[in-house]
Structure 1
Amino acid sequence: MVSQRLGIKGFCEGFTMVVWLYHLTVISMAVLLFTLSNRVNGGKILVYPLDGSHWVNMKVIVEELHSKGHDITVVRASNSWYIKENSNHYTSITIPNTGGFDENFFSEYILGKELKTQREHGKGIWTTFTLHSLIRDSLFVFHNNMVEVITRILEDDELMLFLQEAKFDLVLTDPSVGGGTILARRLGLPLVHNVRWTIQGEAHLFLAPSPLSYIPYTATEFTDKMTFPQRVINVFAYIVGVQTMASMIVSTYKAVVQHHFGPDVDFRTFFLEADIWLMRTDFVFDFPRPTMPNMVYISGFQCKPPKPLPQDLEDFLQSSGEHGVVMMSLGTLVSKLPEDIADEIAAAFAQLPQKVIWRYTGPPPSTLGNNTLLVDWLPQNDLLGHPKTRAFVAHGGTNGVQEAIYHGVPLVGLPLAFDQPDNLSKLKARGAATVVDIVTLDKGVFLEALTNVLYKPSYRENMQRLSRLHRDQPVKPLDTAVFWIEFVMRHKGARHLRSESYKMSWIVYHSVDVIATLLACVLIIAVFGLAVIRCVCRKVFCKQKAKRE
């Protein structure tokens, strides 16, 4: 009996061991197959980014592609600000350069030139003209720096040979600068844009049909419901804006393109030949408008659920009680303000029962209240996602606006430059933000704006409605971006989604030649008809005259 029990026990142990070995083998094979599939399916991607806040969102895509098993190479200038040379997610190619993306370039422009001009001259046509000239001159300098980088790459024979032999599957670039598109054309690679802005303006206006009757030009801050005078201004602003951007291209990128590709090459086609445009916007944020098959909307792809805060910040938020917290940040480019403006803002904050977290690196304002915490850096996404956060004071950059929408936090906008007024005007039109002119800001005006956003329920309700709409998607925006990048790699491009319109002249695109031909035909038929009628009438008249005689 004992031996029988021992035999059964031994059989059970042996059977368990066999089952365990079987499962171990299956798991090992699965891991091996997964690893091999990554090696087989992993592509080689050349990334040509723009530094600053644009790199913040490009980096999210780079890290996600790396996690999928892709081999990433990033081109960067030697004096890059945000793009680090060493990373666990990519290999870098560093280009010696004295230009690149200067950390102080845009902050000096915004605070030292644009803001100063507005404060000295106020509103008016002269101020608008002066600001337009400042923007043009500053962008001219900036793009000349960008041309220096791509010129060094194209003229480095050893580097170009390395890039050609590397057998990349595609180029991923930010078309706010032209270097990535030029490099993709030289290497003959498929091209994917991570885009909202190109060097010629907002991407939709460059690629998609854009009736100016209901599509506002960026600088106007209009909505899609324009009066007749607004439509006149919209058309005028569009013409001036397009001509300004074109003039910068002619004097900067065009020279290097003609030198390396020939005198008859149109640089604009480099952009229009992109296989996929990953659009950093959507129609929760933007106004409805025509689009194109190769435009893929990935607004808010960098947004994610909040992570736990550092303990000191968490304690500060919890100390706010039922009043909650107001957060202020003016983005990566501006971390301090003129002393008098900072004093007015701090004085308004001091009047609030809420606690305030303010990213500010300048001297502490003299009017700073006990409820305000100044920090050199803050985890913006995590703070916006915290249940204690009641309002966000922001400059209106795309990343911050999209994170606010994702987390449903209403804004008090302090637009400074570029697309920021336009971004905030869209949220204002939807009742999710109020906007304060930083030039005329004082304690009373700023406090009133804060009070409205904090205590009028409509602001939070409207922003949370936008948040629900934004989140209600079948696929996460980041997954969508990765899918289409991999789609281009699998199929060596996406030419079937690309319209042939980019090959057409303005006359052909708008069918001016067809309309002229049809009008000419109508005119010929009309003239011929009149001639026949005249001839018939003359014969009838002649017969009647002959009879009378």
Structure 2
Amino acid sequence: MLPHSSLFTFALLLIQLSSASGGKILVFPLDGSHWVNMKVLVEELHAKGHEITVVRASDSWYITENSPLYTSVTVPSTGGFDEKHFEAFFVRHLEMRFQGRHASSWYKTWNRIRMERQSVDQFSQLHKGLSEMADKMFGDKNLMQSFKETKFDLVLTDPGIGGGTMLGRWLQLPLVFNVRWTIQGEAHLLIAPSPLSYVPFTATELTDKMSFPQRIKNMLSYIFGMYTMSQVTEPHYKPLVEKYFGPDVDYSTFFLDADIWLMRNDFVFDFPRPTMPNVVYMAGFQCKPPKPLPVDLEDFVQSSGEHGVIMMTLGTLVSNLPQDVAEEIAAAFAQLPQKVIWRYMGQRPANLGNNTLMVDWMPQNDLLGHPKTRVIVTHGGTNSVQEAIYHGVSVVGLPLSFDQPDNLNRIRAKGGAVIMDIAELDRHNFADALKTTIYDPSYRENMQRLSRLHRDQPVKPLDLAVFWIEYVIRHKGARHLQTHSYKMSWFVYNSIDVMAALLAVVLLVAFSCIGIVRLLWRIIFVGRKIKPE
């Protein structure tokens, strides 16, 4: 039998576990690839016994209405992701990239401005639809009352959209972010000191070691980028905040309310920079050990012999490429002794080699974890890059848009990737890039070193994320980890008032000293001249 003290300790542990396993969590996710990440958390929380409710738009692309993992609340709106609309955006984006292929540098600069403008318009339309969804949700009094009556323990949301943070404020619930980006940019920029001397701004493709011209570029990019993002989001969310929370409420403060920021990166992937105590790094939380491949795919992989396998995928949104580009890629693959597995749903290239298997879908994680995989050709999405780090596989990057160039640049800076402009790709330079990553051992060694660093931690990233979610449930928040800087104006945060007061004191003392000296001068020297006379 256990002694009484042990029984008491065991009982306390059971109470703590039961209190964590009975949580009610309201999830307000972002659709598309962001939902793929959120769903990993939802699956794990459901397995731990939590009751999950997911708010979704009626036209959601990835987020299904019926699921054994959660109860869904569907809001009639256009706040989801339209698959055809996003595919059309990427087609237009690629067309613009290829238009400037053989043009002058001036035209390429103008073309890049056009592409940036297109991306801004795309995001503006996205936030317009999402704000309309939030408006319908808050306007449905019965729905909001049901949320209150359910007595949720916390709101879990992606701050890449605004609705979840507003819902958390409206329900007065603890808030947990599954985050890398907020509607105001990269998450660290919002909550942590971010010296632009060594913290590269989004989309600059800079590292933490910048020359003077690069620091000028970084500063200008920050000013322009932050202004652009405010113009993209404020017109859609600010009126909502005024409507439901009052005209004196600053909507930007909603994004500072989170108790815990579950950050989808770490300092194996990112460059070191200041952070905050309520930021929890869970990079690679979606990565898993590989499972056995289907028999036919395993046979193809094994047929590669000592040469190994190349895998290529440009994500779910890019199913095909201009035919001449696809022909060049196929011709490059055909030159190599490796076997190739290429996820591609466009027209079959005429010069496709016997070594290349084209598929509509591939088990990416399982292939990356296979010992015969030598390199992945990828667009540089966060999930693909994190999985490449986890499995220690070299990368050839073909970035297309959004955060992809920055993601790949971080791997290149750490010696694990070669990056190419897809608009400049031909069979020769593409084959050279593949040979470099395959036959130069430094690329594989660097990626395996990153893999060892990433895996060498006391708690798995997914377990760490779930712990902190349950921590917030147990303690009804984590306000003790928030700094008071969130509530300060920029004037107070940067101690402008203190510096002004100190400067005033220095000036007062200086003028007082000057005044005293002048007075003494007049008494001593001027007085002597007057006295003999």
Give the TM-score range, shorter chain.
Answer: over 0.9
1:86 corresponds to 2:70: no
1:77 corresponds to 2:57: yes
Q: How much does 1:340 deviate?
A: 1.7
CA distance in 2, matches of 1:115, 1:163: 45
Q: How does 1:406-425 map to 2 (within 5 A)?
A: 406-425=390-409
1:160 corresponds to 2:140: no
CA distance in 1, matches of 2:401, 2:104: 15
Out of 6, 15, 26, the residue aligned to residue 46 of structure 1 is 26
Change (3 A) 1:290 1:36: closer
Q: How does 1:476-491 map to 2 (within 5 A)?
A: 476-491=460-475
Amino acid at match of 2:203: A
Q: How does 1:204-223 map to 2 (within 5 A)?
A: 204-223=188-207
1:449 corresponds to 2:416: no
Query: Corresponding residue for 1:262?
Result: 246
Query: Corresponding residue for 1:191?
Result: 175
CA distance in 2, matches of 1:442, 1:101: 33
Query: Corresponding residue for 1:14?
Result: none
Change (3 A) 1:122 1:138: farther
Amino acid at match of 2:224: V
CA distance in 1, matches of 2:98, 2:282: 35
CA distance in 2, matches of 1:346, 1:334: 17
Query: Corresponding residue for 1:66?
Result: 46
1:146 corresponds to 2:146: no
- Local SS of the residue matching 1:252: helix
Query: Corresponding residue for 1:27?
Result: none
- Local SS of the residue matching 1:439: helix
CA contact (8 A) 1:38 1:69 kept: no
Provide structure 1 residue ranges, at least 5 long, that are not aligned to the other structure: 1-29
Query: Corresponding residue for 2:495?
Result: 511
- Local SS of the residue matching 1:386: coil
1:111 corresponds to 2:91: yes
Q: How much does 1:545 deviate?
A: 1.5
Q: How much does 1:122 deviate?
A: 6.2
Q: How much does 1:117 deviate?
A: 4.7
Q: How much does 1:547 deviate?
A: 4.4
Query: Corresponding residue for 1:176?
Result: 160
Change (3 A) 1:131 1:533: farther
- Local SS of the residue matching 1:377: coil
1:540 corresponds to 2:524: yes
TM-score normalised to structure 1 length: 0.91
Change (3 A) 1:122 1:510: farther
Change (3 A) 1:472 1:216: same
Provide structure 2 residue ranges, at least 5 long, that are not aligned to the other structure: 1-9
Query: Corresponding residue for 1:24?
Result: none
Q: Mean alpha-carbon deviation: is it higher for 389-398 or for 360-369?
A: 360-369
Amino acid at match of 2:151: K
Amino acid at match of 2:55: V
CA distance in 2, matches of 1:424, 1:40: 38
CA distance in 1, matches of 2:300, 2:263: 37
The structure having more radius of gyration, on CA atoms, is 1
Aligned-residue Cα RMSD (Å) equals 1.8
Q: How does 1:349-428 map to 2 (within 5 A)?
A: 349-428=333-412
Out of 110, 121, 124, the residue aligned to residue 126 of structure 1 is 110
Q: How much does 1:530 deviate?
A: 1.4
Query: Corresponding residue for 1:56?
Result: 36
The count of residues paired between Structure 1 and Structure 2 equals 518
CA distance in 2, matches of 1:527, 1:118: 67
- Local SS of the residue matching 1:322: coil
CA distance in 2, matches of 1:263, 1:356: 58
CA distance in 2, matches of 1:548, 1:425: 84
CA contact (8 A) 1:118 1:127 kept: no
Q: How much does 1:322 deviate?
A: 1.0
